[in-house]
């Protein structure tokens, strides 16, 4: 049935209703699609010392990410191998991971240390923590559930590392973090994020502060070519450092989807603040303002928007068929004095815009919930959204055509 729906999916039109609401389709995504996706789950600043750990939800499964010192960052399911209790209730720091229930303890590298009480014949080396795929790139920690089937991150790392370093993300400080739980399917959240056709009616503040609106929020060929001209002039002023290049990789089942590109904020602005004036010291390798905005799509569920003086990480976290969490983290430079940062100024644009997005996406979800909903046509101003939907449908078709899903999330461990 789902295969039929996918087969009849009309290119350039929104998805059929079940994709936005049905528990069955969400379960299928959960079984086949999500376990193969890398997600940014934390920043190295969240785990500064050996033994530091954070608890995160990764596609509904709770994981522990731990700083294992010389062993780098590691991630495990937050489930004791004894009776199954959660091990960590929240973020913390300890030299071992100790389950509070019966005090079983595990090394930071996962091995069971408590072996005295084991019954005869039980092999403690089979009772280590269940690992989760974990990789750090330029300060961002990405995880994935199906350790045996994760797509390659090599191309993404190679393309992004210069950009992440230039923006100083590797050693950045977290200045603010906020969550925007949204009652809508994750695909509606992403469809909205991928287009700015709605920016004019829905985001007055964003509309006033961004030059690209002319080309993305209304069909006006003159305005669009005017904007292209401005971008070309701005780009001509840049050097050809790797971080100034544009790379777009559509990705698929075996390689991670990502994008890195830059364009000017425009309207005479140095950064994406209410006034256009800086809200924090220059970050990383920047020695002056070039008024640029760097856009990095990190897999399907992460995005980093980086300006000269700050950066904003977006984590899109599917919670259920009709619930998605959107978590924003604002970064400033490693050398910045957090006490001197005006948090309201720093967070203004993306806080107001994300609260508006939550509102309009929830209205979209309520409408799509009606039996009267029918797929509608994406306009030319929603080309990236159409591209995302097309990518999603292609991924699902491929994953469905395979014999079976990731039926055992721990199969490589067993």
Q: Which residues 146-205 are close enough to bind a copy of itself by CB under 8 A?
A: 191, 197-198, 200-202
Closer CB to a copy of itself, residue 122 or residue 233? 122
* DSSP annotation string for 158-178: HHHHHHHHHTTGGGPEEEEEE
Q: How many residues bind a copy of itself (CB under 8 A)?
A: 55
Look at residues 290, 211, 277 and name the one whose alpha carbon lies nearest to residue 244.
290
**Radius of gyration, alpha carbons of the chain:** 22
Among 102, 208, 248, 411, binds a copy of itself (CB under 8 A): 102
Task: Determine if 405 is a binding residue for a copy of itself (CB under 8 A).
Answer: no
Task: Determine if 7 is a binding residue for a copy of itself (CB under 8 A).
Answer: no
Task: Determine if 78 is a binding residue for a copy of itself (CB under 8 A).
Answer: yes
Stretch that binds a copy of itself, among 134-142, 234-242, 258-266, 377-385 (CB under 8 A): 377-385
Q: Which residues pair with 66 in a beta bridge?
A: 53, 74
Closer CB to a copy of itself, residue 7 or residue 103? 103
Among 101, 208, 248, 275, binds a copy of itself (CB under 8 A): 101
**Total Cβ atoms within 10 A of residue 396:** 21
Q: Which residue has the tokens 């989760």?
A: 132
Task: Determine if 379 is a binding residue for a copy of itself (CB under 8 A).
Answer: yes
Among 143, 381, 395, 396, binds a copy of itself (CB under 8 A): 381
Task: Determine if 364 is a binding residue for a copy of itself (CB under 8 A).
Answer: yes
Q: Report helix, strand or coil for 180.
A: coil
Among 331, 378, 388, 392, binds a copy of itself (CB under 8 A): 378
Terminal CA-to-CA distance of the chain, rounded, Å?
Answer: 33
Closer CB to a copy of itself, residue 12 or residue 242? 12
Calpha distance 384→257 (Å, rounded): 13
Stretch that binds a copy of itself, among 150-158, 244-252, 327-335, 356-364 (CB under 8 A): 356-364
* DSSP annotation string for 228-295: HHHHHHHHHTS---GGGS-EEE---SSB--EEEEEEE--TT-SSSSSSSS-SSPPPTT-SS---EEEE
Buried b (16+ CB within 10 A) or exposed e, 131-162: bbbbbbbbbbbbbbbbbebbbebeebbebbbb
Q: Report helix, strand or coil for 57.
A: strand
Q: Which residues 106-145 are close enough to bind a copy of itself by CB under 8 A?
A: 116-119, 122, 127, 130
Closer CB to a copy of itself, residue 271 or residue 384? 384
> In the complex, which residues of this chain contact a copy of itself (CB under 8 A)?
12, 14, 20, 61-62, 77-87, 89, 100-103, 116-119, 122, 127, 130, 191, 197-198, 200-202, 218-219, 360, 363-364, 366-368, 370-374, 376-381, 409-410
């Amino acid at each position: 049935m789902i295969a039929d729906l996918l087969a009849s999916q009309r290119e350039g039109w929104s998805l059929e209703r079940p994709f936005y609401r049905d528990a069955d389709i969400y379960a299928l995504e959960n079984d086949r699609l999500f376990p193969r996706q890398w997600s940014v789950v934390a920043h190295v600043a969240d785990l500064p010392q050996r033994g530091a750990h954070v608890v995160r939800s990764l596609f509904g499964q709770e994981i522990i990410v731990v700083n294992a010192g010389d062993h780098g960052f590691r991630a495990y399911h937050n489930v004791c191998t004894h009776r199954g209790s959660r091990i960590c209730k929240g973020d913390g720091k300890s030299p071992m991971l100790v389950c509070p229930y019966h005090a079983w303890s595990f090394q930071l590298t996962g091995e069971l240390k408590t072996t005295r009480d084991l019954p005869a014949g039980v092999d403690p080396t089979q009772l280590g923590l269940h690992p989760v795929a974990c990789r750090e790139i330029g300060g961002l920690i990405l995880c994935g559930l199906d350790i045996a089937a994760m797509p390659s991150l090599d191309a993404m790392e190679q393309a992004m590392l210069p950009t992440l370093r230039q923006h100083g993300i590797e050693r950045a400080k977290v200045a603010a973090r906020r969550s925007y739980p949204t009652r809508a399917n994750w695909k509606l959240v992403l469809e909205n994020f991928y287009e700015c056709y709605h920016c004019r009616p829905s985001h007055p503040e964003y509309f006033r502060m961004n030059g690209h609106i002319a080309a993305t929020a209304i069909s006006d060929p003159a305005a669009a070519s005017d904007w292209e001209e401005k971008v070309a002039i701005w780009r001509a002023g840049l050097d050809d450092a790797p971080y100034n290049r544009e790379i777009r990789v559509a990705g698929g089942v075996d390689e991670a989807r990502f994008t890195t590109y830059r364009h000017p904020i425009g309207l005479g602005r140095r950064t994406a603040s209410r006034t256009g004036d800086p809200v924090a010291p220059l970050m990383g390798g920047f020695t002056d303002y070039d008024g640029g905005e760097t856009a990095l799509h990190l897999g399907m569920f992460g995005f980093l928007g980086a300006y000269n003086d700050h950066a904003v990480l977006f984590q899109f976290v599917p919670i259920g068929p009709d619930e998605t969490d959107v978590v924003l983290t604002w970064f400033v430079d490693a050398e910045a004095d957090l006490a001197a940062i005006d948090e309201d100024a720093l967070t203004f644009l993306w806080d107001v815009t994300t609260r508006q997005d939550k509102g309009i996406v929830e209205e979209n979800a309520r409408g799509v919930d009606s039996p009267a909903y029918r797929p509608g046509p994406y306009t030319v101003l929603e080309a990236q959204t159409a591209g995302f939907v097309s990518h999603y449908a292609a991924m699902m078709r491929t994953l469905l055509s395979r014999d079976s899903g990731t039926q055992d999330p721990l199969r490589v461990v067993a």
